Amino acid sequence: MSFALRKQGEIVVVDVEGQLIVGNRQELKQKVLDELERGEKKFLIDFSQTGYIDSSGLGVLVSLSKKIREQGGELRLANLNDDLKTLFELTKLDTLFQIADTRERALESF
Amino acid sequence: MTPDRSRGLPIGSLHLALELEIPSDVRYIERVVEMVTRQCEQLAYSTRQMSLNVPVALTEALSNAILRGNREHLTKRVQVRCDVNRERLVLEVVDEGNGFDLEECLVDATSPENVVREDGRGLFLMAQLMDSVERFANHGNVVRLTMRRHD
Q: What pLDDT does B2 receive? A: 55
Alpha carbon of A98: minimum distance to chain B alpha carbons (Å): 14
B113 and chain A: CB distance < 8 Å anywhere? Answer: no
Structure confidence at residue B40 as a pLDDT band (50, 70, 90): confident
A26 and chain B: CB distance < 8 Å anywhere? Answer: no
Range of the domain at A93: 2-108
Per-residue pLDDT, averaged over B117-131, amounts to 96
Structure confidence at residue B41 as a pLDDT band (50, 70, 90): confident
Cβ pairs A/B, distance under 8 A: 77
Taking a C-beta distance cutoff of 8 angstroms, is the pair B126, B145 a contact?
Answer: yes
Contacts (Cβ under 8 Å, ≥6 apart) of B43 = B11, B14, B16, B84, B85, B86, B149
Query: Least CB-CB distance to A92: which of B60, B115, B122?
Result: B115
Per-residue pLDDT, averaged over B101-121, amounts to 93
Q: Could you tell me the residue ranges of all domains in chain B?
A: 18-148
Structure confidence at residue B11 as a pLDDT band (50, 70, 90): low
Residue ranges of alpha helices (H) inside A38-102 are 55-70, 82-90
Cβ within 8 Å, pair A23-B26:
yes
Q: What pLDDT does A109 receive? A: 94
Q: What pLDDT does B44 receive? A: 80
> What is the model's pTM?
0.93
Alpha carbon of A103: minimum distance to chain B alpha carbons (Å): 23
Tens-digit pLDDT profile for residues A75-107? 999 999 999 999 999 999 999 999 999 999 999
A2 and chain B: CB distance < 8 Å anywhere? Answer: no
Which chain A residues are closer than 8 Å to B128 by Cβ?
Answer: 90
Which chain A residues are closer than 8 Å to B29 by Cβ?
Answer: 21-23
Q: What pLDDT does A70 receive? A: 97
CATH of the domain at A8: 3.30.750.24
At the fourth CATH level, the homologous superfamily of domain B18-148 is: Histidine kinase-like ATPase, C-terminal domain (3.30.565.10)
Tens-digit pLDDT profile for residues B94-103? 999 999 989 8
Query: Least CB-CB distance to A87: which of B52, B63, B122?
Result: B52
- Read off the DSSP letter of residue B140: S
Q: What pLDDT does B57 receive? A: 98
d(CA A54, CA A52): 7
Number of domains in chain A: 1
Which whole-number Å values give the CA distances from B146 to A4, A14, B92, B128, in the listed order?
A: 36, 35, 9, 12
Tens-digit pLDDT profile for residues A4-23? 999 999 999 999 999 999 99
A11 and chain B: CB distance < 8 Å anywhere? Answer: no
Which residue on chain A is closest to B118 by alpha carbon? A59
Q: What pLDDT does B3 receive? A: 58
Q: What pLDDT does A89 receive? A: 97
Helices and strands: H and E segment counts in chain B: 6, 5
Is the model's pLDDT at B84 over the cut of 90? yes
Q: What pLDDT does B15 receive? A: 87
Q: What pLDDT does B4 receive? A: 61
